[in-house]
Amino acid sequence: MEKLQRFLERLPDGAAVIKLKTGSSTKHTLEAVYVFDGTAPKMKKSEFVPELIDRNAAESIIIEEAENLGWGEDFTHVRLHAYDEEMNHLKSLSMPRKLEAAAPIGSDQSISALTQGMLQMSAEIRRTLSVVTESLAHRESMHAEIIESLLEAKRDQAEAEARHMHLENYLDEEGLRDGEDFRKTAVEQLGSILETVIAAKANSAIPSMDQLKKWLAGNPDMLNSMFDDQELMDQVMSAYMARQAEGGE
């Protein structure tokens, strides 16, 4: 480091000892003591055994020792103190270094869990899209069926309206739309239909014509309901018109 290099170059020739301390900007702990080769400092006994080093190699030795101790990982500051042979203090140097961001514990596991979660999410998205697609297809099918039913109902309605219009035209031509003649004709035609049904199913439990006439005579509301039933009246008049046509031939 340039800062350390300048510090060592500016030490006086009488410099003999360098003490290395580590810690923070305010608190330091002694970690190593270096003695320059060719000097004989008057040092007191301590727990640290001085390391004899060449002055020219001091920079690399100090940097290597500081990094091995955890400079920039466990602590932020390295502080150097230089002394002469009489252990008089000459100069000091403080070298700060920011702590490196520690790798998160279990980072491999975290990445694996994140990857697994994304894969599961992707699978869930595919399932959701499949359900949505199926639902849309079902909805389209239902819409097609509804439209077809509406068109069929519209066709039936148009056919019924056409039959009704044809019947009205016929009634207008024959002068049977109003009055008792229309009711008389309808009753006669209804009687003819009932006679035909009775003749076709003589062996069934259908009542006789006299029984039906008596029942209708006793239930005038039912007869009126028959007149109000447009579909029934269309059938009656269609049968009547068919019989009239046969009689004309």
User: pLDDT tens string for the chain (249 positions)?
Assistant: 789 999 999 999 999 999 999 998 888 899 999 999 999 999 888 767 899 999 999 999 999 999 999 998 889 999 999 999 999 999 999 999 988 765 555 566 678 788 888 888 888 888 888 888 888 888 888 888 888 888 888 888 888 788 777 777 766 666 655 555 555 655 565 665 565 555 555 555 556 667 777 777 777 777 677 777 778 777 777 777 777 777 655
Q: Name beta bridge partners: 30.
A: 21
Whether residue 18 sits in one domain with residue 83 = yes
* C-beta separation of 25 from 96 below 8 A: yes
Per-residue model confidence (pLDDT) at position 237: 77
Rounded distance, CA 39 to CA 52, Å? Answer: 10
Question: Which residues does 226 contact at the CB level (< 8 Å), separation at least 6?
Answer: 190, 232, 233
Per-residue model confidence (pLDDT) at position 189: 58
Per-residue model confidence (pLDDT) at position 171: 64
Could you give the maximum distance between any two Cα atoms of the chain, in Å?
A: 154
Cα dihedral sign for 40, 41, 44, 46?
Answer: negative
Whether residue 8 sits in one domain with residue 89 = yes
Per-residue model confidence (pLDDT) at position 176: 53
- Give per-residue burial for 27-41: e unless 16+ CB within 10 Å, then b: ebeebbbbbbeeeeb
Per-residue model confidence (pLDDT) at position 241: 77
Range of the structural domain that residue 26 is part of:
2-96
List phi, psi (to 5°) of 191: -60, -40
Q: How many domains does the chain divide into?
A: 3
pTM recorded for the entire structure: 0.42
Whether residue 30 sits in one domain with residue 90 = yes
Whether residue 210 sits in one domain with residue 156 = no
* C-beta separation of 68 from 51 below 8 A: no
Whether residue 80 sits in one domain with residue 18 = yes
Whether residue 88 sits in one domain with residue 113 = no
Whether residue 11 sits in one domain with residue 91 = yes
Per-residue model confidence (pLDDT) at position 85: 94
Provide DSSP, 118-181.
HHHHHHHHHHHHHHHHHHHHHHHHHHHHHHHHHHHHHHHHHHHHHHHHHHHHHHHHHT-SSSHH
Per-residue model confidence (pLDDT) at position 6: 92
Whether residue 71 sits in one domain with residue 45 = yes
Helix axes 2-9, 58-69, angle to 10 degrees: 130
